[in-house]
Amino acid sequence: MAGTSTVQPNSSFLELVEQRSGEPVSRCYQCRKCTNGCPLAFAMDWTPNQVMRLVQLGQADRLLGSHTIWICASCQTCTTRCPNQIDIAHVMDTLRQLCLQQQAQPGEPAVVKFHRAFLSSIRRYGRVYELGMVGRYKLSTGRLFDDMRLAWAMFRRGKLRFLPESVRARHEVRDMFARSADKTASQQQAEPPRSQPPAECPQPPGRSNSSSE
Amino acid sequence: MEVSYYPGCSLHSMAEEYDESLRAVCQRLGVKLCELDDWNCCGASSAHFFDEQLALDLAARNVQIADRAGRNLLVPCAACFQRLKAASKWMRPADEEQHEAPSAKRQSAPSGSRCETIYHVNEFFEQPHLLGRLQGLVCKPLRGLAGVAYYGCLSQRPPRVTDAPAAENPTAMDRLMETIGMQVRSWSYKTDCCGASLALSRPELVRKLSGDLFAAAQEAGAECIVTDCPMCQTNLDSRQVEIEAERKTRFNMPVFYITELIALAMGDLQAGSWWKKHFVDPVPLLQSKGLL
């Protein structure tokens, strides 16, 4: 995938990502500080600097189906070091959200399922109930017996509670989730289709004339 | 002195020894921890992965509760600290904060009271009036115990959210370790990621990153790792046996919360009950130094 295939630049995806994230991805000039500091670059299919480039070139399919956006642990090293003040970890958030909203197949389904299980626990109790969350994650991934030794060792040490703790004002937390679900639904209708027709004539690589700041 | 306290989900479950040791240290310092009434989960990484507004809403509810309480807020979990700082900056944008949505205006608490400062652990204990008291309470300095300070990611980064004075080379925990008599080894992995929330979904990546940390700590001459993040402590402590098997080496390196060691240096007898919660048993190391 990363070889010498021809790329049709497409600025509409760059505009979408810049507008959704508020981050000036156009500014990236490929200094690679992000990738040099990234602790997980070795496990990514596209390194952080390549992600910035692919956004500039409008390569939505490559990005939204990538492993990278789910391997990123949001450690914020790239964001801290970018000389152009691009909050790269925030751009990763935006790409993850676009992946889910546009129903692209996530490159790391288990990571998505973990975070879904985590959020579902918050929605239900207002706090994370680890035992329930891990159970839900295991059921959704079918990884029933992974880390069993570890889970037992945690349990023995009293590190996993039997029963959930719950906030009293659960409705307040549920309202937050309800607003989030409404917004996601309306965005799904409003988003343009992901695969754009190729631009009529190739633009200079990676630049659209507008800089949205 | 009173301070609002946001323990977060971890300190009520996986990191109970962090909660208990923090409470023990604060009690000796004469700091009353007032747990926020009906706090909720900060959203951690999961919320901002999926929906930024949800992430801010979840964290902001806690800041509003802290505002109503009208005291400063202590947040010992690094991830919770970063999320609550982000929410409080979103609620009260300073002029120089241009990266947040301009529509997000501060909602002031009804009484006009507010939580002025959100502290992470090290910065909290480094306040001059507390540090002086802390020094005075060290009755059993941890002489001969060599360790590295491991800060991880989210208490430091990004600095425009955390207000960390030196995000690439923090030193507050190093100074606290010196204060309690430890030998602090210098290393360049203070703020490298442990793999965080990939622990269940991609455990091999956590083993790689955490394993690199053990190797670096060992090379620096450390006998233990000291941290202030429950996620880091859990990953490093609970995965160490697997990492040793994978690398065919032995680290045998206890991973302490800074508060456990401060309490130990203050002669706290409760400390014995915390060691049982560790995966890598710290007792032999502490005994060999004559500290138990």
Tokens 């807020």 locate to B73
Instruction: For residue B228, give the 3-state DSSP assignment.
Output: coil
Task: Of A75-84, A193-202, B5-14, B239-248, give the lowest mean pLDDT range.
Answer: A193-202
Q: Does A199 touch chain B (CB under 8 A)?
A: no
The answer on pLDDT for A209 being more than 60 is: no
- Mean pLDDT computed over B54-58: 97
Residue B113 has what pLDDT?
73
pLDDT at B71: 96
Assign A190 a pLDDT band (cuts: 50, 70, 90).
low
Confidence (pLDDT) at B92: 83
Q: In what order do the strands lie in the sheet with B2-5?
A: B32-35, B2-5, B73-74, B118-119
Ranges assigned E (strand) in B126-253: 146-150, 183-184, 224-227
Residues B211, B181: Cα–Cα separation, whole Å: 27
Q: What is the dihedral of CA A79, B59, B174, B143, to 10 degrees?
A: -150
A chain contacts of residue B102, beta-carbon cutoff 8 Å: none
pLDDT band for position A3 (cuts 50, 70, 90): low
What is residue B145's DSSP assignment? Answer: -
Least CB–CB distance from A160: residue in B13, B167, B197: B13
B54 and A113 in contact by Cβ < 8 A? no
3-state secondary structure of B146: strand
pLDDT at A2: 53
Q: Residue A187: what pLDDT?
A: 73
From A6, A5, A11, select the one nearest A206 (Cα to Cα). Answer: A11
Examine the pLDDT at A200 and tell me if it is beyond 80. Answer: no
pLDDT, one tens digit per residue, over A31-79 is: 999 999 999 999 999 999 999 999 999 999 999 999 999 999 999 999 9
What ipTM describes this predicted complex?
A: 0.93
Q: Do B53 and A179 touch (CB under 8 A)?
A: yes
- Does A102 reach chain B within 8 Å, measured CB to CB? no
Contact B38 A113 (CB under 8 A): no
Per-residue pLDDT, B246: 97
What was the pLDDT predicted at B225?
A: 98
Interface test with B, best of A64, A67, A77, A101 (most B CBs within 10 A): A77
Do residue A122 and residue B58 have CB atoms under 8 angstroms apart?
yes
CB contact under 8 A, A108 and B50: no
Q: Which of A104-113, B68-77, B107-116, B272-281 has the lowest mean pLDDT?
A: B107-116
SS (H, E, C) chain A: CCCCCCCCCCHHHHHHHHHHHCCCHHHCCCCCHHHHHCCCHHHCCCCHHHHHHHHHCCCHHHHHCCCHHHHCCCCCHHHHHCCCCCCHHHHHHHHHHHHHHCCCCCCCHHHHHHHHHHHHHHHHHCCCCHHHHHHHHHHHHCCCCCCHHHHHHHHHCCCCCCCCCCCCCHHHHHHHHHHHHHHHHHHHHHCCCCCCCCCCCCCCCCCCCCCCC
Task: Determine, for residues A146 and B277 on separate chains, whether the beta-carbon distance falls below 8 Å.
Answer: no
Nearest residue, CB atoms, A74 vs list B14, B45, B52: B45
- CB contact (8 A) between residue A176 and residue B58: yes
Please report residues of B whose CB lies closer than 8 A to that of A111: 198, 201-202
Query: How high is the pLDDT of residue A151?
Result: 87
Tell me: pLDDT of B105 over 70.
Answer: no
Entry field: residues in chain A: 213
Nearest to A73 among B12, B197, B200 (CB): B197
Residue B109, SS3 per DSSP: coil
With bands split at pLDDT 50, 70 and 90, how would you rate the model's confidence at B94?
low
Burial A11-31 (b: 16+ CB within 10 A, else e): bebbbbbbebbbbbbbbbeee
B158: nearest CA partner in chain A: A80
* Distance of alpha carbon B258 from alpha carbon A168, whole angstroms: 32
Which residues on A lie below 8 Å from B154 (Cβ)? Answer: 75-76
A155-178 tens-digit pLDDT:
899 998 889 999 999 999 999 999
**What's the pLDDT at B106?**
43
Q: Does A134 touch chain B (CB under 8 A)?
A: yes
pTM value is: 0.91
Mean pLDDT of A202-213: 39
Residue A85: closest C-alpha in chain B: B99
Nearest to A159 among B14, B40, B191 (CB): B14
Size of interface A-B (CB pairs under 8 A): 159
Give the mean model confidence (pLDDT) for residues A203-207: 40
Measured between CB atoms, does A45 come within 8 Å of chain B? Answer: no
pLDDT at position A181 over 90: no
Nearest residue of chain A to residue B200 (CA atoms): A114
Alpha-carbon gap, residue B256 to B227, rounded angstroms:
6
The residue in chain B having the minimum alpha-carbon distance to the alpha carbon of residue A153 is B279
State how far residue B64 is from chain A, nearest Cα, in angstroms: 13
Chain B residue with CA closest to A164: the answer is B13
A155 torsion bin: left (phi>0), alpha (psi -120 to 50), beta (else): alpha
> Which of B41, B167, B277 lies at the smallest CB-CB distance from A159?
B277
Residues of chain A found within 8 Å of residue B16, distances taken between Cβ atoms? 158-159
pLDDT value at B111 more than 60: no
Question: In angstroms, how far is CA B200 from the centroid of its own chain?
Answer: 21
Q: How confident is the model at residue A189 (pLDDT cuts 50, 70, 90)?
A: low
Asked whether the beta carbons of A196 and A10 are under 8 A apart, the reply is yes
Residues B35 and B47: their CA atoms lie apart, in Å, by 23
B98 — pLDDT class (breaks 50, 70, 90): very low
Q: Tell me: pLDDT of A102 over 80.
A: yes
Distance CA B4, CA B11 (A): 15
Q: What is the pLDDT of residue B95?
A: 52
